[in-house]
Structure 1
Amino acid sequence: MEVQGRIKMIGETKTFGSNGFRKREVVVTTEEQYPQHLMIEFVQDKTDLLNAFSVGQEVKVSINLRGREWVSPQGETKYFNTIQGWRIENLEQQAPSGMPPVPPEDAFEPANDFREEDHDDLPF
């Protein structure tokens, strides 16, 4: 799955436990009629992906939905969902797909020696 929007917040990398589990959160605000502020977490080595991004950038994030069950000491069962990111792309640098870049006008030399009678390509 993918989520597109603007980065609203990028959290610091947090380390948990003795095994060094790392987690970093980013909030992406979708750009639609009713914008959603989605908190997406990146874990372990994926936390470093966020180093190249800053607040305000338009991005596309590839995500997985994660769910887990937890039973409290009192025997009550609860369920939790997580949005976990595994790739993030900057949409502001991408050119429209299938379109080659257009060179600037001054990249071409003018045709000074052009004579129309020498370049007649009409078939009659």
Structure 2
Amino acid sequence: MEIRGKVHEVGALQQVTESFKKRDLIVAYAENPQFVEYIRFEATQDRVNIFDNLAVGEEVEVSFNLRGRPWTNKEGVTTYFNSLVAWRVTKLANTGSGAATPGYADMPAPVDISSSGADDDDLPF
């Protein structure tokens, strides 16, 4: 699978265990510029270096695999997790058609929906 977007954040290398390391990449994906999605990709082990030469705002194409796995807790309840595992990142050259796609600066900032303010609930349902 592939997706095109703009680099929003390049995570630091995480040494999870002595033999396992990973790194995250957040890509701003704007199929509809009014509703930007922030997609988290991960790279593990020898692939963590594919994010090395990326800068915030660069347009990229990420090639990735979709992975899923179950996890069962002590009470026997099973939860399922998905991961987007990047295996290649290609920088896209600016083709001069900037009017066709909005720039990174034009994308709205991510909104923190974790605040617990009681008066700011404007959802219609």
Q: Which residues of structure 1 form unaligned runs of 5+? A: 96-124
Q: Residue 8 of structure 1 contacts residue 27 of structure 1 at CA under 8 Å; is this kept in 2?
A: yes
Q: Which residues of structure 2 form unaligned runs of 5+? A: 97-125
CA deviations over 1:35-77 (Å, ceiling 9, x no partner): 2110000111111011111111000000100000001011111
The 10-residue stretch of structure 1 (30-39 or 73-82) with the greater mean CA deviation from structure 2: 30-39
For 1:37 and 1:7, the matched residues in 2 are separated by 10
Q: Residue 23 of structure 1 contacts residue 44 of structure 1 at CA under 8 Å; is this kept in 2?
A: yes
> 3-state SS of the aligned residue for 1:45?
helix
For 1:22 and 1:94, the matched residues in 2 are separated by 36
CA deviations over 1:17-40 (Å, ceiling 9, x no partner): 232x11000100112213211000
Corresponding residue of 1:18: 18
Give the ranges of 4+ consecutive aligned residues of structure 1 lying more than 3 Å apart after TM superposition. Answer: none
TM-score (norm 1): 0.71
* Count of aligned residue pairs for this structure pair: 94
CA deviations over 1:63-108 (Å, ceiling 9, x no partner): 100000001011111100011100000002679xxxxxxxxxxxxx
User: In angstroms, what is the RMSD of aligned CA positions?
Assistant: 1.6
Question: Partner letter of residue 31 of structure 1?
Answer: A
Q: How does 1:1-124 map to 2 (within 5 A)?
A: 1-19=1-19, 21-33=20-32, 34-92=35-93
TM-score (norm 2): 0.71
Seen in structure 2, the aligned counterparts of structure 1 residues 6 and 15 have a Cα distance that, compared at 3 Å, is same
For 2:30 and 2:92, the matched residues in 1 are separated by 13
Task: State the identity as a percent.
Answer: 34
Q: Residue 7 of structure 1 contacts residue 55 of structure 1 at CA under 8 Å; is this kept in 2?
A: yes
For 1:92 and 1:70, the matched residues in 2 are separated by 41
For 1:52 and 1:94, the matched residues in 2 are separated by 20
